[in-house]
Structure 1
């Protein structure tokens, strides 16, 4: 008997876009306090944040089949605050509202209160963590039911959010892109941390008492998902960005780093991070196998 995943690519896109949106807002706040003169780059983050989350929510409603026909059904989620999904709705709703208010103020060239940016950042981080908790509460899936998954998704969300802002910034604000050195150095370490967390997640999952844990890991590293895992996620999503950014930040000359060639190298690195971020969620969603429960025959 074969197992058909309960969720597919649409949910993977939703998890990816929700995390990316939260990470993009965090990036905008980081730029505000560390690179306050880079206003165009900050605005890019403020535009990306609500836009991608709204697209992700539309995908979620589409995947829910009746979501568009009866959208008020989602309001019923607010009746159970013991549910992770209920808290997810709260975090998403507050985040989208705050992100849109911040964006409107920015576009109108009005000052954005610090407390509003900080609230949006907290909600953005909460959304990123929630995307991991949404899967983590499913106790029947060893690959999901681990405390490492929300942490991994949080790190990946911040990494992809920063990568999206920097990638757009290469083309929309190339001069400011060269100024955010602190942001680039901070972003450099995120794929490294992510690689460690993925290794830990696979180790913990493979040690699960249920065969489903080892089989899920085997499907990723040497089974149906092996090519995707090693080539698209590990090589393109983690190793390549780390190598390229290490070269650009600490080995290449300042002239090369700030040249158009250097910017394109960084853009390739950021594109790799985005690809890896989506592939990570697609694999986690699709490769997870459930624990098999055997019930004795009723006599």
Structure 2
């Protein structure tokens, strides 16, 4: 019997976009702290975060069958606080309110209060962690029901959020991008942490019964193996880590200020974005449930 997943591409996209938006906002806050002159990059990060999280929220409500055709489901999605999905909507809505306020202040060229930056960053972190907790409510899926998933998705969210901001900076605001050295160095460690968390998740899940074993095997040696090894590991994780290592510790810093260097940086961060999406897609699609056998009485 072939298993049909309960969640598919829309939820994978939601998980990716929500985390991306939260990570972009946190990156903007770090830039405001360590490189306050990067106004264009910060403004772009806030707008990107608002747009992608808004799209993610629509995908979440659509997948929950909540909307004009079923208004009762929409109401329950907002008031059923015993549901993890409801808390996700709360976190997303709070984040969007904070981010919208920041975008308005950006447009008006007003100073953004520190408390608003902090509140937005806290809600962004909650959104990033929630995207992992959402899958964990399905207790019969060993690949999802893991305490490692929320921190893994949070680290990936911070990494992809920084990547989209750096991608914008390298292409549209190169002079500001040159001033982001401290934030780039902080971002460098995220793929390292992500690698450790992914390896730990797969190792623990592999020994968590037949369903866990088969889920991991589907990733590393089965139907998703090419996408996992080539798409996620090589292109989305290890490749960018190798390039960033070379840019930080081997190649002269002036290389990043050339058009070729900015192209390399842009391509590297695009690969990080691909890896972030594939991580969520593969986790969603490869998970298998524990098979329950009920004997005849």
Which bracket does the TM-score occupy, shorter chain normalised?
Answer: over 0.9
Match of 2:89 in 1: 89
CA contact (8 A) 1:7 1:286 kept: yes
Shift of 1:188: 1.1
Q: Which moved more, 1:243-252 or 1:58-67?
A: 58-67
CA contact (8 A) 1:249 1:257 kept: no
Shift of 1:72: 6.1
Q: Which runs of 5+ in 1 are unaligned?
A: none
Equivalenced residues, count: 297
Match of 2:34 in 1: 34
Match of 1:255 in 2: 254
Residue 265 of structure 2: SS of its match in structure 1? Answer: helix
Shift of 1:148: 0.2
Shift of 1:66: 4.5
Shift of 1:80: 3.2
Match of 1:198 in 2: 198
CA contact (8 A) 2:174 2:257 kept: no
Q: Distance in 1 between matches of 2:157 and 2:30?
A: 14
Q: Distance in 1 between matches of 2:227 and 2:71?
A: 35
Q: Distance in 1 between matches of 2:68 and 2:103?
A: 26
Q: Which moved more, 1:219-228 or 1:168-177?
A: 168-177
Match of 2:231 in 1: 232
After superposition, the Cα gap between the structure-2 partners of 1:201 and 1:113, relative to the gap in structure 1 and judged at 3 Å, is same
Q: TM-score normalized by structure 1? A: 0.96
CA contact (8 A) 2:29 2:117 kept: yes
User: Which digits, 9 at most, give the CA deviation of each residue in 1:46-72, with x for residues without a partner?
Assistant: 111111000112222333345353456
Match of 1:213 in 2: 212
CA contact (8 A) 2:66 2:74 kept: no
Q: Distance in 2 between matches of 1:90 and 1:146?
A: 23
Q: Does 1:168 align with 2:165?
A: no
Match of 1:21 in 2: 21
CA contact (8 A) 1:62 1:68 kept: no
Q: CA RMSD in A?
A: 1.2
Match of 2:158 in 1: 158
Match of 1:58 in 2: 58
Residue 179 of structure 1: SS of its match in structure 2? Answer: coil
Q: Which moved more, 1:82-91 or 1:124-133?
A: 82-91
Shift of 1:253: 1.1
Match of 1:43 in 2: 43
